[in-house]
Structure 1
Amino acid sequence: MKNILLVSPLFEERHKLFEDEGGRQKRGSDRGFMAPISIATVAALTPPEFHVDLYDENVRGIITEKTEFPRKYDFVGITGFSSHLRRVTSISNIFRKRGSLVGIGGPAASTTPERYVDLADIVFVGEAEYIWPAFIQEWANGSTRKIYRQVIKPELEVSRPPRWELLGADIHRYMMGAVQTSRGCPFDCEFCDVPYIFGHRSRWKPVPDVLKEVEIQQKMGVQRIFFCDDNFIGDLRYVRSLLKELVTLNNSFPKPVHFFSQMTLNVAKHDDILEMMSDANFAGLFIGIETPNKESLKETRKMQNAHTDIVADVHKIQSYGMALWSGVIVGFDHDSPEIFNIQYDFLQESHIPLPLIHLLTAPPGTKLWHRMQKEGRLVSGAEEPVMPKPNTNIIPGGMTRLQLLKGHLELYERIRDWDAWADRLIGYITSIRRAPKVNLSAEEARRHRRMKRLGGMLGKMQKGPGNALLATIRGLLNINPKGRSRALMALEPKARKAILRVIQASIDHAPWLFPETIGPLIIMQLRQVELLRQGRPAMVRQIELESSPGFQPELAESALVIPENFATSYKKIFPGIHARVSESLADKTRVEEALIEIFTQFLSRWGTNLEQVEEYHMADLESTCDTVIGEENRHPKTGLVTLGPPATTDWRKSKLPEEILHSVEQELRLRPGREDEAIAHVGAF
């Protein structure tokens, strides 16, 4: 039996408030935010004849050369976002030295595979439902490829319930469990990499499968579940059918689960969905607000926010008792230095409890990334795995970089101020107009009675020492008692007063919110204050650096990207080339690979000079097409695993042209310096 280890790396920006001063070796040995659904899902896609272990650095500690494991692993798979690059590199090096085959996948490898081809033996590009079983079968047969790429996005009916049992007792060390109901988002925000990774077409799991996953975690004792969708309301008909069943299921549990998710602001236009979410016991939502600046919203193509009253929509959503965690961005081209005051006033007026402030950044592959590169405004060396980020990889259009960095720091400090936080939270609490229709468990009913009795004690706590308040909060919220001195430092008099104001408002207006909704918001504010304390020196250093005489940011190297004009012509060209390949290629399972090769060779020759597709360009493209087909037919690929839907799937429905172009773009970035390396790809199996 071969042994597999699947690793979720540490979020290095995740500083622990309540842990011993044990340094990096102990960091991550306490509680994590959300259970690692990615590696648990990959484990579920693995045949039973392979032994699989899961390791999440966020709760089990970072992996070092000295870390001992119960067995030697034949293969180690590592997932991760771009902020994990440093940890992914370290983990890969450790296990390659131990003789394990190492593969890297996840969102970062799927958007920038060129960063990972030298860090691992195998790179997985795209979603795992087909390419992981393909790898497993080929590996078992004694051979593997350098890159496994999923071209067509899989339907989620083929996914499997995550194997949460592999986490064992660790499942209780997470603030939230996780369920994914869908992938993809129909919107097209310029800065967002979700459409690039998961596509514009919403794909969803069957409702019974989602309910089964919720029930599995509830039976394991999970009391909070995050629906980690790109956009929970991406398909309104689907979400209505899911919520209807979810209300019934949750009320059948002895103790109802609290749900959280992320979605777009247009949920405010659907009263029935808001009511069902409230009655299903949704406690918090993440919504990307980005900015109150209408011109900036239009610039970034966030049209669903540009044509509405954002403050009114936020108030309406929160009137159902669901607190918002909202992404807020500064640095759009239409943002002047006044945007920082505008953002602050907007956030205080809208009563968003937990705004997450970000510098505008251009993730690789996004439309913003392409535009910044074309305009010579893409900066290199700006990625830091910390929050708040001290830097960005763009040059803004409406202010200088120095103004952006200074304004960002000042806004961050104003928003994290305890009085400002309490004002927003109390505004949210007092705006609630509808309590959720959820069956209270006996335990929750007793807790609500205790909360009412606690109300009379708050005045005394406010005047007394921090220890009493800390003990009360720790007892109610299950805060780890380690690191008491750091926790007490965070609870200085201003913080204690703000927290007590919030608890009092909750008891007076909405006692059911505490602690399941208000508790996490208190913890997150504590965390954000600590993140600012630890991140501020780096922010100041970057400001000082860019204030120095003669400083100029280093521009990113120009990559060979698909010309914008060609992308327009491509839509007209694709059907003919697709028909030519489909008709003449002997192995129909390799249509996608052949198309990628044809367009990659064509664009490698013509490059960024291709402003308009002329007749001689078409002649060259058709010649390339025939050459690739001939090569494929003369030298068929043997031993490759083909799984899943056939290549004859309706390419219009599957968005194949868009997916091929994404893959071609990645190939253009992968191939410089690697022309002699044979890179085989797995397409839509």
Structure 2
Amino acid sequence: MADIVIINPRFEKSYWGMEHALPFMGKSSNLPVACLPLLAALTPAEHSVTLIDETVEDIDWDRVAKADIVGVTGMSVQRFRMMEIIKELKERGCFVVVGGPWITVQEDYFEGLADVIFVGEAEDTWPRFLAEWKQGLHQYRYEQAEKTDMTRVPTPRFDMLKMNRYAFGSLQFSRGCPFQCEFCDIIVTFGRRPRIKTSAQVIAEFEAILASGQRIVFVVDDNLIGNKKAIKEVLREVVAWQERRGYPLSLFTEASIDLADDPELLDLMTRANFVATFIGIESPSEDALRETKKFQNVRSGGTLLEKVHRIQAAGMEVWCGMIMGFDSDDATIFDRQIEFVQASRIPFAMTGMLSAIPKTPLHDRLAAEGRLDLSDRPEFGTNIIPLQMTREELLEGYLRVLRELYDPVTYFERTDALFLDPDFDFGITKRRRWWRISPSWMQSEALCMARAIGLFARLMARVPDASLRALYRRHLGRFIKVHRRPGLVFTYVFHMAMHFHVWRLERDMASKEAHLVNSF
């Protein structure tokens, strides 16, 4: 039997990290990474497993040093902390195995430090490694010959995490995306053929996440609707489960813009109580979208703006990713980005500079053209060298876009354009009167009001800028004149906390008080 510890490193402050908002919510991290509880579920029962998520707890180095195997996972934005942890582990004589998204695209990054590496998915290779390790016959590099059969993936061990320290839960329906965006590493890691779990698996995970105490869940699929026919079948079962259980979970996810072209899919998602979706819009420039092979964003059926409004009208809030620095971008792109986000009524736009991830087609192309900054922490926040502007101009434009989008007046102008519409609501409450859904829903609405009051009180007590506090009070007063549903009130106050997070993040970066973070 092996004593195994698996570590997820903490993140540097970033857009999605929510570091400036989480203290108001009494949480330590936004959501658990999917791999920790899944790896625990994949570990044969003869071994013992301890999960350490550094985003919610400190690493007990003495405990870790006693383990037979210490696993470290992480994404590209965690690579610096991964390096620190792995060096410390090696100094303590630990046997270190490394997996996850970053090692998958940069296999030599921890060369000389990692005893074993896992490239790509590990549903097959993790149990195989443990069997070979037991016999003293383990390899250095593991990579599955075939993509994981998602119908065989076990329910993650959410019970092994400190779930009450996360703002949201997380689970996964599918992997893979059918599109071919040049900059994206998803198709490198998971392939272009969407693979999906069975309805029974998804419902089992819902029950497990519900048992953990979470009520708001991020479905982490990189494109939930990659296989529309298959996901519709699953969504019908999700709708039925939500109905039986009185709608205990609110869901949000990621999807492609062609969601707007499928009324049946929009209907199923809102009936399943999906309240928001993140969409990779990337750019208002059709030249940039075609250049990066984001063809799904330039298909017929309306403009990008019209499609965003269609999704919002159906009952889902839209969050989006926006990118600057494509080859066709010149200095006019910054104003165009701001204008698009404002017109789209998207409160949360994850705006960033184009970055070339190893193994992607973009990285290969720019490397061949000699247009990559090969330093590990590029001075200008991205490793690409743009064509039609200097690197300084790209960075300055990026910071200006962030500053203007999250200027309080600008932010609430677009947020209120959506939220202050008297017909605005999302998820199942778009289709039913909220007091008629179920008794448990009524209880959740009461809890939402208590949370809204608590969150707003903490904002008023802890936001240091008096003018910002006054603006928050003014806008909440306007909102309550239009909407009284407690869940919507909580959502609106949460949007204030998120505004403060990005507003503070941009100010710290501009003043050099924090590391430059490329939101993308």
Q: TM-score, normalised by structure 2?
A: 0.89
Q: Is the counterpart of residue 273 in structure 1 residue 276 in structure 2?
A: no
Quick one: structure 1 residues 179 and 448, their matched pair in 2 at CA, closer, same or farther if it must change by over 3 Å? closer
Rg larger in structure: 1
Alignment: residue pair count? 503
SS at match of 1:120: coil
Q: Is the counterpart of residue 187 in structure 1 residue 216 in structure 2?
A: no
Q: Is the counterpart of residue 408 in structure 1 residue 398 in structure 2?
A: yes
Pairwise mapping of residues 162-561 of structure 1 onto structure 2 (< 5 A)? 162-167=156-161, 170-254=162-246, 256-307=248-299, 308-381=302-375, 383=377, 390-431=380-421, 432=423, 435-437=430-432, 440-442=437-439, 444-445=441-442, 473=452, 475-476=454-455, 487-489=462-464, 492-498=466-472, 500-502=474-476, 504-505=478-479, 508-509=482-483, 511=485, 513-515=487-489, 517-538=491-512
- Asked whether the 8 Å contact 1:351–1:428 carries over to 2, the reply is yes
Quick one: which of 38, 42, 45 aligns to 2:39?
Answer: 42
- Asked whether the 8 Å contact 1:75–1:100 carries over to 2, the reply is yes
- Asked whether the 8 Å contact 1:390–1:539 carries over to 2, the reply is no
- Asked whether the 8 Å contact 2:147–2:190 carries over to 1, the reply is yes
Matched AA of 1:332: F
Q: How far did 1:165 drift? A: 1.2
Quick one: which of 17, 29, 32 aligns to 2:29?
Answer: 32
Q: Output the CA distance in 1 between the equivalents of 2:362 and 2:476.
A: 39
1:227-282 per-residue CA deviation (whole Å, 9 max, x = no partner) reads 11120000111111111111121122255211010010110011111122112111
Quick one: structure 1 residues 382 and 406, their matched pair in 2 at CA, closer, same or farther if it must change by over 3 Å? farther
Q: Output the CA distance in 2 between the equivalents of 1:18 and 1:293.
A: 32
Q: Is the counterpart of residue 16 in structure 1 residue 13 in structure 2?
A: no
1:273-310 per-residue CA deviation (whole Å, 9 max, x = no partner) reads 11221121112211111011111111111111123401
Q: Which stretches in structure 2 are left out of the alignment for 5+ residues?
A: none
- Asked whether the 8 Å contact 1:117–1:123 carries over to 2, the reply is no
SS at match of 1:233: coil
Quick one: structure 1 residues 503 and 108, their matched pair in 2 at CA, closer, same or farther if it must change by over 3 Å? farther
Q: How far did 1:360 drift? A: 0.8
SS at match of 1:58: coil
- Asked whether the 8 Å contact 2:18–2:30 carries over to 1, the reply is no
Matched AA of 1:354: F
SS at match of 2:123: helix
The answer for the alignment partner of 1:622 in structure 2 is: none
Q: How far did 1:98 drift? A: 2.5
Matched AA of 1:521: H
1:81-116 per-residue CA deviation (whole Å, 9 max, x = no partner) reads 111111111211222233321101000111111112
SS at match of 2:113: coil
Quick one: structure 1 residues 130 and 243, their matched pair in 2 at CA, closer, same or farther if it must change by over 3 Å? same
Quick one: structure 1 residues 58 and 529, their matched pair in 2 at CA, closer, same or farther if it must change by over 3 Å? same
Q: Output the CA distance in 1 between the equivalents of 2:21 and 2:225.
A: 35
Matched AA of 1:489: P
Q: Is the counterpart of residue 134 in structure 1 residue 128 in structure 2?
A: yes
SS at match of 1:319: helix
Matched AA of 2:411: W
1:386-439 per-residue CA deviation (whole Å, 9 max, x = no partner) reads xxx951111111222222111111111001111111111111224556614476
Q: Taking every aligned residue pair, what percent have the same amino acid on both sides? A: 32
Matched AA of 2:468: K
Quick one: structure 1 residues 18 and 225, their matched pair in 2 at CA, closer, same or farther if it must change by over 3 Å? closer
SS at match of 1:32: coil
1:358-392 per-residue CA deviation (whole Å, 9 max, x = no partner) reads 001111111111111111111122637xxxx9511
Quick one: structure 1 residues 519 and 541, their matched pair in 2 at CA, closer, same or farther if it must change by over 3 Å? closer
Q: Output the CA distance in 1 between the equivalents of 2:406 and 2:223.
A: 27
1:194-227 per-residue CA deviation (whole Å, 9 max, x = no partner) reads 1111111111111110111011111222101111
- Asked whether the 8 Å contact 1:111–1:365 carries over to 2, the reply is yes
Quick one: structure 1 residues 501 and 15, their matched pair in 2 at CA, closer, same or farther if it must change by over 3 Å? closer
Q: Output the CA distance in 2 between the equivalents of 1:443 and 1:91.
A: 44
Quick one: structure 1 residues 507 and 141, their matched pair in 2 at CA, closer, same or farther if it must change by over 3 Å? farther
Quick one: structure 1 residues 476 and 507, their matched pair in 2 at CA, closer, same or farther if it must change by over 3 Å? farther
Q: Output the CA distance in 2 between the equivalents of 1:242 and 1:523.
A: 33
Q: How far did 1:346 drift? A: 0.9
Matched AA of 2:19: K
Which piece of structure 1 moves more, 151-160 or 358-367? 151-160
SS at match of 2:7: strand
Quick one: structure 1 residues 502 and 335, their matched pair in 2 at CA, closer, same or farther if it must change by over 3 Å? farther
Q: How far did 1:509 drift? A: 4.4
1:576-620 per-residue CA deviation (whole Å, 9 max, x = no partner) reads xxxxxxxxxxxxxxxxxxxxxxxxxxxxxxxxxxxxxxxxxxxxx
- Asked whether the 8 Å contact 1:503–1:514 carries over to 2, the reply is no
Q: Output the CA distance in 1 between the equivalents of 2:272 and 2:314.
A: 12
1:9-68 per-residue CA deviation (whole Å, 9 max, x = no partner) reads 101124733689xxxxxxxx942111222111011110011000111000113x3xx744
Quick one: structure 1 residues 60 and 503, their matched pair in 2 at CA, closer, same or farther if it must change by over 3 Å? farther
